[in-house]
Amino acid sequence: MKAEIKKILCLLEEKGVDYADVRIVDTVKERITTENLQVQSIVNSRSKGAGIRVIHDGSLGFASTQNLEKLEETAMKALEIAKASRILQKEKIILAKKEVTVDHYETDIEIDPFEISKSDKIELLFSAEKEMRKSAELSQTKATMDFQKQEKIYADTEGSYITQLLYESGGGIVATARNNNLTEIRSYPNSFRGNHATAGYEYILKLDLIGHGEKTGKEAVMLTNAEECPSGVYDIIIGGGQLGLQIHESIGHPVELDRVFGSEAAYAGMSFLGVEKRNENFKYGSEHVTVVMDATIPTALGTYGYDDDGVKATKKTIIDKGIFKNFISSRDTAVKIGQPSDGNNRADEWANIPIVRMSNINLMPGNFEFEELVEGIEDGLHLVTNKSWSIDDKRLNFQFACEIAYEIKDGQFTGKIYRNPIYTGITPQFWGSCDAICNDKYWEVYGTPNCGKGQPGQVAHVAHGSSPARFRKVKVGVEDVK
Amino acid sequence: MLSKKEAYSIIDKTLEHCNYYTMISIDSEEEGLTRFANSEIHQNVFNYNTTVSIKILENKKESKVTTNLLDEKSLEQAVKEAEENLAFLPEGKVKMPHLCEPKEIVSEAYDKEVGIKFDITNRSELLKQGIEQLDDTFIAAGSLSLKKSVLAMGNTKGIRRYARIDSVDFNAVVIHEGGFSGYVEMNTNKADELDVVKEFKVAYDKARLGIDPVSVKPGEYTVILEPLAVGDLLAFMSYIGFAARGVQTGMSFLTGKLGEKVFGENITITDDVSNMNTIPLTFDFEGYEKKKLSIIEKGIAKELAYDVTSAIKDGVETTGHSVGNTSMGGFAFNLVMENGKDNMTDLIKSTKRGLLVTRFHYMNAVDPTKAQLTALTRDGLYLIEDGEIKSGVKNLRFTETMSKAFSNVVGITKERKKVPGFFATNYVPALKIENFHFTGNAE
């Protein structure tokens, strides 16, 4: 394949392109869902193809094909598209400089998930479902596993040739209870198909879906007897999983440099941050808030060797003690602020163009024990596990719903729970209200395998490290807004 | 694109290797999308992919493998993998039926002009003409894409299905340097229905109408929702509530409400693939003919969307609304909302104080069991006072239950528009709704 790819790149150079790259991606997936102790679905899929990106006279064209015998035809199509782009273009595309690299990267796994039999996987999922049902009358139980193996080749006209072999594993359980027209759910370890990592089957075993089944089932039933969460202003502790999504929506997306430059203006939206904010000591949050982009964390879902610009995965501080420091970028966006790319340009498989995507965007741990967070609350709530999310197109006004809220009074849990807790806020004010973050003992990485962006729509697999954190005077609920 | 003959040839070749009842599905899509921002093209892409899904039903077992490797050896290997899976798959509760009739459903008619009018070069030229209308204080962003889709199916019982749909999608936001923006979005399978330059003008006019927007406090307002905003609500209600599976699991807001009044008497919603303003895919992803559904009739919840699995559970026949995902059950995506007698001018004139909404952003279900939705307004929110549009308004977040909103509809336009839904196109009027609950400012 290497010779064929080089032939295509040489051909494009002869045609006068400024730059071109070829990516060949071969992805195998397995997705198992059991429901009510039956297999709801097992889907095995494979998708292989090539994407060719061309910059000609400063204009971009991209074409892809599943037929690897048609690389030349596809390259010519990409060139034709680049020439058509010239019709409506003001500024020529320039790429930030990078190192020419020849390398191979592999996810470090202990157990190949595709070597484990489907019957063993199904048995584990059934066992977890049985645990949920053990001591609770549930209307539905569900358990899931997702696996992915992806082989990638990247080559460009600058001389880089990079191969990668990436594995992903994920799993989760959901209990649903009904009582008096109320239907409530509890999930473990996170909602929307659980938690996910760049890892092998050992990750599934570590999740211990069976061990968490009983508590998950019990809480779903308890929620059907719980009161609706009250509306008001409260001090809250947000659990790690929910906080992961909070980081995703209100820090990860606003710091994507392509959004700042308007690339997503008509679709995913832009950002409340302008490029000038990087030099203004902009206060993004309190002094407790330090956020680091790190695409090298072992097993995190957003970890890889190189992005789809062929730039090595790296680590960079986004927010330092509350002060905004850096965006995440690609070669074509980084050059506009005079920086090298930090390796966050990624495409959804082979058929899409790479765009700026989060890798692992992490809220760094603080120094607090969880008990200390609770002790500091007179009247508040501990909110856990995301149920729904929404944020405006500038990433300022967010509203999240969680599965459950645990009541805190006078520094202690009262034992009372609430259903349907909602909290809402404005990004910088919210992060500015953070006054305590749990220490590294509580720090976990939460994979988000469903991050949507771009036209045509692309899905990225990213992650967020976090530990529970406390926020003061947060608006909870909406019923009191008159 | 795959012709009927080519698609059937792949199906025939694959079925030759099958030893059980098997359904082959071919999903083929070609898309050329030109994307622009800051009034210039920044992404311009082409993609073509054909995937083949092999689904085997044997006794109470079901096995499915999907691949885009289309050479005969790879397809044979995929069949082998699907058949080998049967050995260790546990049995389900019921034996899934084998599709035996009608023998063939074909829809080969598509508007060839779509592919010509919106080819690679023409897309750039049309966008250039549209953007040239804007003065220097405005910029535009959006996309124009040409999509050619084929869905073909065939099984070991001799069933064959084929549908080709060519369509074009366009969206554009025109943004003033002060930040206020106007928006248009359209998708159609008819070339003469989309005038890109004219649509740009609409977005431009909307942006100019709202320069120097004011802030208003959250609270309950009379709103006039333009068709894009109505379409957002309708599509989301379908996603969380119009499927039988949602009622079976208790997650739908229509659980226990069939036959009951859930909306105002002036609300009638059907799912009607025969309506030419929706996308004409007349069979579903299990190969069944799509039936017309009366989902809401004069405010009363009547019928739900079924796939085979959810239909078996309720002891009824599928309505042909599978989207190939059992966890979703049926999905109604040819939604048609009955129109009224009003026009937009009258709706505005009759409003003492209210808000005119162009579209919503990032909608989600806060509580699907109550159809409580939240989203923000975007790209064109206006204040109406004393029957006139007074100014633009800075964006707001709403959090509202749909049973309340659709029981408070006091005006429905006669004119309806095609609006994009989750999978296809819906056809809806504009609505005037009282006491719509806005719960926060966007900034």
B269 and B139, same domain (yes or no) = no
**Angle of CA points B17, B18, B23, to nearest 5°:** 125
Nearest-CA distance from A132 to chain B in Å? Answer: 17
Residue pair A17/A56 in contact (Cβ under 8 Å)? The answer is yes
A352 touches chain B (CB under 8 A): yes
User: Does the ipTM surpass 0.90?
Assistant: yes
Q: Give the domain-ending residue among A167, A192, A225.
A: A225
Substitution target in A85, A139, A352 with the highest count of B β-carbons within 10 Å is A85
Domain annotation covers residue A482: no
B224/B347 same-domain check:
yes
- Give chain B's domain count: 2
Q: Are residues A178 and A242 in the same domain?
A: no
Write down the pLDDT at residue B93: 83
Are B185 and B324 contained in the same domain? no
Size (chain B), residues = 443
Across the interface, of A63, A181, A426, the residue whose CB is closest to B443 is A426
Report pLDDT for A135. 78
Residues 21-40 of A with CB under 8 A from B: 33, 35, 38-40
User: Which of the residues in chain B have pLDDT under 50?
Assistant: none
Q: Three-state DSSP class for A396?
A: coil
Residues A243 and A361 in one domain: yes
Query: Per-residue pLDDT for A482 more than 80?
Result: no
In angstroms, what separates the C-alpha of B162 from chain A's closest C-alpha? 22
Q: Answer yes or no: is A125 within a domain.
A: yes
Q: Which residues of chain B neighbour A89 with C-beta distances below 8 Å?
A: 40-41
Nearest CA to CA, how far is B41 from chain A (Å)?
Answer: 6
Number of domains in chain A: 2
Using the 3D structure, point to which of B165, B187, B207 is the last residue of a domain. B207
- Put simply, whether A122 touches B (Cβ < 8 Å) is yes
A220 and A242, same domain (yes or no): no
| A180 touching B (Cβ < 8 Å) | no
Mark yes or no for CB contact A352/B47 under 8 Å: yes
Q: A365 falls in which pLDDT band (50, 70, 90)?
A: very high
The SS3 of residue A29 is strand
Per-residue pLDDT band at A26 (split at 50, 70, 90): very high
Q: Are residues A255 and A221 both part of a single domain?
A: no
Residues 6+ apart with CB under 8 A from B362: A390, A391, A392, A393, B375, B376
Is B236 in the same domain as B199? no
Nearest to A114 by CA among A50, A47, A45: A45
How does pLDDT run across A149-160, given as a tens digit for each residue? 999 999 999 999
**Chain A positions in Cβ-Cβ contact with residue B327 (cut-off 8 Å):** 33, 35, 40-41
pLDDT digits (tens, 9 = 90+) for A266-306: 999 999 999 999 999 999 999 999 999 999 999 999 999 99
Rounded to whole angstroms, how far apart are CA atoms B258 and A322?
52
| Model confidence pLDDT, tens digit, residues A188-199 | 999 989 999 999
- Same-domain status, B54 and B193: yes
CA distance B62 to chain A (A): 8
Report cis status (omega within 30 of 0) of the bond before B102.
Answer: yes
Contact at CB, B124 and A84, closer than 8 angstroms? yes
**Could you tell me if residue A252 is inside a domain?**
yes
Name which of A181-185, A315-319, B339-343 the model is least confident about.
A181-185
Query: What mean pLDDT is predicted for residues A400-428?
Result: 98
Quick one: B325 and B269 in the same domain?
A: yes
Q: Taking phi first (over 0 means left), then psi (-120 to 50 degrees means alpha), and beta for anything else, what does residue A285 get?
A: beta
Same domain, B319 and B369: yes
Task: With respect to residue A26, please indicate whether it lies within any of the assigned structural domains.
Answer: yes
Q: Is A45 on the interface with B (CB under 8 A)?
A: yes
Interface contacts A/B by beta carbons within 8 Å: 246
Q: Is residue A481 part of a domain?
A: no
**pLDDT, tens digit (0-9, with 9 covering 90-100), for B115-155:** 999 999 999 999 999 999 999 999 999 999 999 999 999 99
Pair A131, A243 in one domain: no
Domain that residue B270 falls in: 213-443
Q: Which residue of A has its CA nearest to B67?
A: A46
Task: Give the other-Cβ count within 10 Å of A206's Cβ.
Answer: 12
* Cross-chain Cβ contact B399/A351 below 8 Å: no
3-class DSSP string for chain B: CCCHHHHHHHHHHHHCCCCCEEEEEEEEEEEEEEEEECCEEEEEEEEEEEEEEEEEEECCEEEEEEECCCCHHHHHHHHHHHHHHCCCCCCCCCCCCCCCCCCEEEECCCCHHHHHHCCHHHHHHHHHHHHCCCCCCEEEEEEEEEEEEEEEEEECCCCEEEEEEEEEEEEEEEEECCCCEEEEEEEECCHHHCCHHHHHHHHHHHHHHCCCCECCCCEEEEEEECHHHHHHHHHHHHHHHCEHHHHHHCCCCCCCCCCCECCCCCCCEEECCCCCCCCCCCECCCCCECCCEEEEECCEECCCECCHHHHHHHCCCCCCCECCCCCCCECCCCEEECCCCECHHHHHHCCCEEEEEEEEEEEEEEEHHHCEEEEEEEEEEEEEECCEEEEEECCEEEEEEHHHHCCCEEEEEEEEEEEECCCCEEEEEEEEEEEEEEEEECC
The answer, for A315 touching chain B at a CB cutoff of 8 Å, is no
B33 and B108 both lie in a single domain? yes
Amino acid in position A255 = V
Give the domain-ending residue among A225, A253, A273: A225
Are A43 and A187 members of one domain? Answer: yes
For residues B320 and B392, membership in a common domain is answered with yes
> What phi and psi values does residue A200 have, to the nearest 5 degrees?
-95, -160
**Do both B129 and B261 map to the same domain?**
no
Can you give the pLDDT at residue B92? 84
Q: How far is CA B397 from CA B255, B299, B376, B382, in A?
A: 27, 26, 4, 14
pLDDT grade, residue A236 (50/70/90)? Answer: very high
Residues B45 and B130 in one domain: yes
Q: Is A265 on the interface with B (CB under 8 A)?
A: yes
Which residues of chain B neighbour A118 with C-beta distances below 8 Å?
85, 88-89
pLDDT band at A229 (very low <50, low <70, confident <90, very high): very high
Note whether A217 and A243 are same-domain residues: no
Q: Is A455 in contact with B33 (Cβ distance < 8 A)?
A: yes
Within this chain, do residues A239 and A134 fall inside the same structural domain, yes or no? no
Q: In whole angstroms, how far apart are CA B243 and each of A192, B232, B303, B324, B333?
A: 19, 17, 9, 14, 11
Would you say residue A182 lies in a domain?
yes
Report the percentage of chain A scoring pLDDT > 70: 100
Query: Within 13 Å and on the Cβ side, how many CA atoms surround A313?
Result: 25
Assign 3-class secondary structure to A408-436: EECCEEEEEEEECCEEEEEHHHHHHCEEE
B344–chain A nearest CA distance, Å: 25
| pLDDT > 90? residue A240 | no
Expressed as residue numbers, the domain containing A463 is 228-476
One domain, residues A141 and A236: no
Confidence check: pLDDT of A107 > 90: yes
Residues A202 and A248 in one domain: no
- CATH number for B84: 3.30.2290.10
Instruction: Locate the chain A residue with the closest alpha carbon to B127.
Output: A88
Smallest Cα distance from A45 to chain B, Å: 4
Peptide bond into A456 cis (omega under 30): yes
Which residue of A34, A88, A130, A270 is the best one to mutate when testing the B interface, meaning the one whose CB has the most B CBs within 10 A?
A88
What type of residue sits at position B403? S
- C-alpha distance from B23 to closest chain A C-alpha (Å): 14
Select from A191, A333, A392 the residue whose CB has the most chain B CBs within 10 Å, as the one to mutate to test that interface: A392
Instruction: Residue A455: list chain B partners with CB under 8 A.
Output: 33, 35, 43, 143, 145
How far apart CA A107 and CA A344 sit, in angstroms, is 18
Last residue of a domain, one of A225, A242, A266: A225
Residues 359-378 of A with CB under 8 A from B: none
Which of B207, B233, B263 terminates a domain? The answer is B207
Which of these, B358, B405, B61, lies nearest to B209 by C-alpha position?
B358
With CA atoms as reference, report the closest residue to B244 among B297, B284, B291, B302: B302
Domain limit, last residue, from B146, B172, B207: B207
CA distance B68 to chain A (A): 5
Average pLDDT, chain A: 97
CA-based nearest residue in chain A for residue B52:
A45
| A181 pLDDT higher than 90 | no
Q: Are residues A308 and A431 in the same domain?
A: yes
B231 and B144 in one domain? no
Same domain, A165 and A273: no
Residue A461 lies in a domain: yes
Are the C-beta atoms of residues A415 and A451 closer than 8 Å to each other?
no
The residue among B229, B172, B219, B207 whose CA lies nearest residue B382 is B207
| pLDDT band for position A98 (cuts 50, 70, 90) | very high
Instruction: Determine, yes or no, domain membership for A137.
Output: yes
